[in-house]
Amino acid sequence: MPLRAPFRTSFGVETARDVLLVRVVTPESEGWGECVAMSEPRYCSEYVEGAADVLRRFLIPALPAVADAYAVKRALKPFKGHKMAKAALETAVLDAQLRTTGQSFGTFLGAGRERVPCGVSVGITDSIPELLDSVGAFIDEGYVRIKLKIEPGWDIAPVRAVRERFGDDLLLQVDANAAYTLADARRLARLDAFDLLLVEQPLADDDLVQHAALAKQLRTPVCLDESIESAEDAAAAITLGAASVINIKPGRVGGYLEAKAIHDLCVAHGVPVWCGGMLETGIGRAANVALAALPGFTLPGDTSASRRYFATDITEPFELADGHLDVPTGPGLGVEPLDGILERMTTAKEWIRL
Ligand code: OSB
Ligand code: MG
């Protein structure tokens, strides 16, 4: 699916989203799950074709006989890694299961709100004026929080420019996607002057100890994204002092059951969480918005409206109202792919019978 505008991060430029959707058909109903793996292994080790391979070769053949998300999670556990592939399959089964019982994702997960406040993640641009235009347009659309992608050489100046132009009241945070090392601590400490909500994943994915050391040198709270692939990782990060905020992305942690467990753990430890994004279509977005309505999600998420990403989404588009998205209320995800559009966007499909 073509993106409306290229999305540049410290790890690459995205101009289109290669989306793997999983559709589970049971005797009672069917369900959908979106795999958030990207086309190349630059954000993490997973990539779309790899996810498709592990799904067909190992994960789908291991499915239990009953459409039960907890049973699916247990059945997939012996296979290491591949959290994004597992999340897509578990979510599709959970959607089918909830459509059968008539319960929504929001109700199942324990959502406490009917709508969630939304932030937007703003990619690296060629110039500061271009960035200011882009941020200004998002603020005009109603986004309640801005996240700037940063990398060495695109950090202090863009943050200062956005603060100067849009003022001290703007909720502002940055995301480095692991582009720095602990040797950059003094440079990162210069961000303290701009009263940011947090700095997301400044150091490498496996640098929990270094993140703890960095956190001691910053006033800006450190938030982890890539480093957290499970509730165990979240517990370790909290114990070490490597993160005082956690970005929960269901795809990255293996699904909504694990995402909920991380939320509960963080609530118990007084650690704020927010819902990350992976440029999802309406399918993945529906479940993320439901998750973001849980009580521990006290910071606005990267749950932007469909039009921020795509000219045409594959579901009815999610639209921002007063800076918020509504949590779907129908059974399961509460949304489904629109037949004509899905057909038009589909490049390949494969049916696997159990
Ligand atoms: O690090 O949060 C990230 C998009 C793709 C991969 C990683 C990230 C992102 C974003 C955009 O920041 C989130 C979104 O709007 O979906
Ligand atoms: Mg991130």
pLDDT digits (tens, 9 = 90+) for 203-222: 999 999 999 999 999 999 99
Q: Closest ligand 1 atom, CA of 308?
A: 15
Mind spelling out the 3-state secondary structure of 66-83? CCCHHHHHHHHCCCCCCH
What mean pLDDT is predicted for residues 47-54?
Answer: 98
Task: Point out the ligand nearest to the CA of residue 301.
Answer: 1
- The full set of domains in the chain, from first to last, is 2-102+338-345 (3.30.390.10), 107-326 (3.20.20.120)
Residue 318 per-residue DSSP state: P
Q: Closest ligand 1 atom, CA of 277?
A: 16
pLDDT of residue 321: 98
Query: By alpha-carbon position, which residue is closest to atom 6 of ligand 1?
Result: 278
Bridging pattern class, strands 222-224 and 199-200: parallel
Sequence-distant (≥ 6) Cβ neighbours of residue 106 within 8 angstroms: 290, 293, 327, 328, 329, 334
CA of 178 to the centre of ligand 1 (A): 13
Residue 190 per-residue DSSP state: G
Q: Closest ligand 1 atom, CA of 120?
A: 15
Catalytic residue flag (residue 249): yes
Tally of CB atoms within 10 A around 66:
11
Query: By alpha-carbon position, which residue is closest to atom 8 of ligand 1?
Result: 278
pLDDT of residue 346: 97
The C-alpha atoms of residue 202 and residue 188 are separated, in whole angstroms, by 8
- For the whole prediction, is pTM greater than 0.95? yes
Bridging pattern class, strands 115-117 and 324-326: antiparallel
Torsion angle, CA of 238/114/85/33, rounded to 10 degrees? 170
pLDDT of residue 47: 98
CA of 66 to the centre of ligand 1 (A): 34
Q: Closest ligand 1 atom, CA of 309?
A: 15
CA of 104 to the centre of ligand 2 (A): 27
Q: Please report the DSSP string for 121-167 in residue order.
A: EE---SSHHHHHHHHHHHHHHT-SEEEEE-BTTBSHHHHHHHHHHH-
Task: Point out the ligand nearest to the CA of residue 120.
Answer: 1
pLDDT of residue 307: 98
269 pLDDT band (50/70/90 cuts)? very high
Integer angstrom CA distances of residue 152 from 101, 110, 146, 179, 233: 50, 40, 19, 7, 26
pLDDT of residue 48: 98
Q: Measuring from each residue's beta carbon to the nearest atom of ligand 1, which residues come in under 6 Å?
A: 43, 121, 175, 177, 225, 276-279, 302, 304
pLDDT of residue 214: 98
CA of 8 to the centre of ligand 1 (A): 10
Pocket probe for ligand 1: among 8, 227, 246, 278, the residue whose CB has the most ligand atoms within 8 Å is 278
Beta bridge partners of 274: 247
pLDDT of residue 14: 97
Query: By alpha-carbon position, which residue is closest to atom 12 of ligand 1?
Result: 121
- Do 146 and 138 contact (CB within 8 A), yes or no? yes
324 pLDDT band (50/70/90 cuts)? very high
Query: By alpha-carbon position, which residue is closest to atom 4 of ligand 1?
Result: 278
pLDDT of residue 335: 98
**Residue 103 tokens, joined:** 């319960």
- Do 243 and 222 contact (CB within 8 A), yes or no? yes
pLDDT of residue 168: 98
Bridging pattern class, strands 273-275 and 245-248: parallel
Handedness of CA 339, 36, 320, 328 (dihedral sign): positive
* Interval 6-35: pLDDT, tens: 999 999 999 999 999 999 999 999 999 999
Q: How far is CA 110 from the centre of its chain?
A: 19
Catalytic residue flag (residue 147): no
